Amino acid sequence: MSIDDVIYVICLLGCIGAGSYVKKITDEGQRKLVSTALGVLVVVIVSGLHSLHCFVSLALGTAAVLLVHPSKGHLVTFAVMFGYLVFFRIFDFYLGIPGHTNMIQMILTLKVSGIAFEKTAAWKRLQAHDEQKKNDQRDVHQESPIEITDYDVELQNLSAAEILHYSFNYIGVLTGPYYRYRTYRDYFEMPFKTHAPTVEATLEKLKYAVFYCALYLATNYMWPLDYALSDEFFNDRSFVYRLLYVWPTFFTFRARIYTGLTLSECVCTMAGFGAYPDESDPNNGEGPRKRYQHLKRDADKHTYNFTTIVNTRVLEVERCWTFREGMKHWNVCVQYWLAVNVYKLFPSKKYRTGATLLCSAYWHGFRPGHYFCIMGAPFYVSLEDMWDKLVRKSATGTSRRVIDVTFWIFKWFAFSYLGEAFLLSSFGNIWRFYSSVYHIGYVSWAVMTALGFYLTSQRKAAERRKKRAAEKAAGGDGIAAAIEKEKAQ
């Protein structure tokens, strides 16, 4: 582990330990100040002078949220925060910035632009509600009443201090998870944190974090990524060895990510952050999907979960059969942000999937590996969907189990093959590695796509022939019946 990784882990463990203290602070205003002070301290420890990037971008984003009219505020704030990433990464390219500072900046970008999107959505609901009231006064029929909440009104009266507190709250400041401003506000206004099983949930997650960390250290020792950049790897190792090397290196990457994300979730659970009653139906990143404010009256009588702050469903990622399912369970809080603020709002339905993936790649960084990996995913998913319809969907029994396992193997090959580009990062490293295995991933996927199209067309042609034969037989039977009827008469 590098010195940056050691500092990062120490900061995460310190934040976990601080949770029990922060949760016990009775004065909510003091709790908010302490949480922000801890967050700023962590940012400065991890980033040093580079933390100025975070403060400058926050100031610019806050100005956009507060000064631009809500009808355009979300777009301007999005442009400001994502635009600052250009300057930030150019600065990184020439002068170098610690890797974990990049993560802080990435999460900050989602938070500030996310609160602008929330403000605009609330403003639109308020406008629609006012218009509905006017129509009611004119006796114009409306299909269903538009409901607004105190939260919608509160978003229109945000202050710079509140955005600062939300952005630099020590919970999630390092690696996430991303959470809405509403989740942050609920932490200070709702009593759920007091009754949630914070210690039990934290200990359970810590067990997994230790396990993932052990896997990371062991596999990184045996199959280091740096070896895939060495001359020995390309000159002395066989084609099969080089091709199979993508499996352990991507496994090491997953174990590292799982460790960091699980520790980040421990920061939340120890403080009781993101705890909601089961009845509120919380969703990852989003929070409750049902009304929940009334549940605070008897908060001690409910059971709680921390679904809101679960960023990756590790077991589901590992066990699911297909690439598409695996993507749904990976980094789900960030996926929620992308789905709500990019995918659903993009003006063209035809191109919104591509735009969302491009936004994701841009957010991750400007290195070619990010685009090789993320933009390659939809092509494999479409291939997988095609073969799912051809062979998997209608299979049952033993055949289905065999096909499921086959899909699972191909899923992890695709993740590992594309993920290798993400890890190798630069175009030169990526091209050298892919060339050494003869671009077998892309070539085999192209062949399977062509074969899939051919088999699909053959199946459709067979179905059309079968349909015409059935119609012809039905027509022949009708003629024969008419002749028999004439003879009878």
Burial of 484 (0-12, 13-18, 19+ CB in 10 A): exposed
| 441 part of a folded domain | no
Partnered with residue 277 across adjacent β-strands are 304
Cβ atoms within 10 Å of 56's Cβ, excluding its own: 13
Query: Are the CB atoms for 381 and 326 separated by under 8 Å?
Result: no
First-last CA distance in the chain = 96
Q: Which H or E element spans position 178? A: none
Q: Does pTM surpass 0.75?
A: yes
| 17 part of a folded domain | yes
User: Encoding tokens for residue 343?
Assistant: 């995918």
pLDDT by residue for the chain (489 residues), tens only, comes to: 677 788 888 999 999 999 999 988 989 999 999 999 999 999 999 999 999 999 999 999 999 999 999 999 999 999 999 999 999 988 887 778 877 899 999 999 999 999 999 999 999 999 988 888 877 666 555 567 778 888 999 999 999 999 999 999 999 999 889 999 999 999 999 999 999 999 999 999 999 999 999 999 999 999 999 999 999 999 999 999 999 999 999 999 999 999 999 999 999 999 999 999 999 999 999 999 999 999 999 999 999 999 999 999 999 999 999 999 999 999 999 999 999 999 999 999 889 999 999 999 999 998 999 999 999 999 999 999 999 999 999 999 999 999 999 999 999 999 999 999 999 999 999 999 999 999 999 999 999 999 999 999 999 998 888 888 888 877 666 555 556 666 665
Interatomic CA distance for residues 18 and 33, integer angstroms: 14
| 287 part of a folded domain | no
Length, in residues, of the chain: 489
Burial of 272 (0-12, 13-18, 19+ CB in 10 A): buried
Question: Given the DSSP bridges, would you call strands 282-283 and 287-288 parallel, antiparallel or unpaired?
Answer: antiparallel
Decide if 157 is catalytic: no
User: Encoding tokens for residue 363?
Assistant: 């957010």
Decide if 311 is catalytic: no
Q: What is the DSSP string of 414-437?
A: HHHHHHHHHHH-SHHHHHHHHHHT
Query: Are the CB atoms for 304 and 276 separated by under 8 Å?
Result: yes
From 331, 341, 370, 429, active-site residue: 331
Chain centroid to CA 72: how far? Answer: 25
From 50, 74, 165, 364, active-site residue: 364
Contacts 24+ apart (CB under 8 A), 155-158: 155/115, 155/118, 155/119, 155/122, 155/123, 155/181, 156/70, 156/119, 156/122, 156/123, 156/126, 158/65, 158/66, 158/115, 158/119
Query: Are the CB atoms for 340 and 288 separated by under 8 Å?
Result: no
Residue 406 pLDDT: 97
| 50 part of a folded domain | yes
Interatomic CA distance for residues 83 and 62, integer angstroms: 14
| 311 part of a folded domain | no
Residue 143 pLDDT: 63
| 100 part of a folded domain | yes
Residue 137 pLDDT: 65
Interatomic CA distance for residues 144 and 168, integer angstroms: 39
Residue 31's domain spans which residues?
1-128+150-175
Interatomic CA distance for residues 277 and 194, integer angstroms: 12
Residue 92 pLDDT: 82
Interatomic CA distance for residues 437 and 311, integer angstroms: 34
Query: Are the CB atoms for 304 and 281 separated by under 8 Å?
Result: no
Cβ atoms within 10 Å of 389's Cβ, excluding its own: 14
Burial of 229 (0-12, 13-18, 19+ CB in 10 A): middle
| Number of domains composing the chain | 1
Query: Are the CB atoms for 460 and 390 separated by under 8 Å?
Result: no
Q: What is the 3 state secondary structure string of 318-371?
A: HHCCCHHHHHHHCCHHHHHHHHHHHHCCCCCCCCHHHHHHHHHHHHHCCCHHHH
Interatomic CA distance for residues 29 and 35, integer angstroms: 10
Interatomic CA distance for residues 181 and 174, integer angstroms: 17
Tracing tokens 């092509």 back to the chain, one arrives at: 379
Q: What is the DSSP string of 101-154?
A: HHHHHHHHHHHHHHHHHHHHHHHHHHHHHHHHHHHHHTT---SSPPP--HHHHH
Residue 488 pLDDT: 62
| 207 part of a folded domain | no
Interatomic CA distance for residues 87 and 79, integer angstroms: 13
Which residues in 118-146 are b (16+ Cβ under 10 Å) and which e?
bbbbbbebbeeeeebeeeeeeeeeeeeeb
User: Encoding tokens for residue 322?
Assistant: 């297909």
| 144 part of a folded domain | no
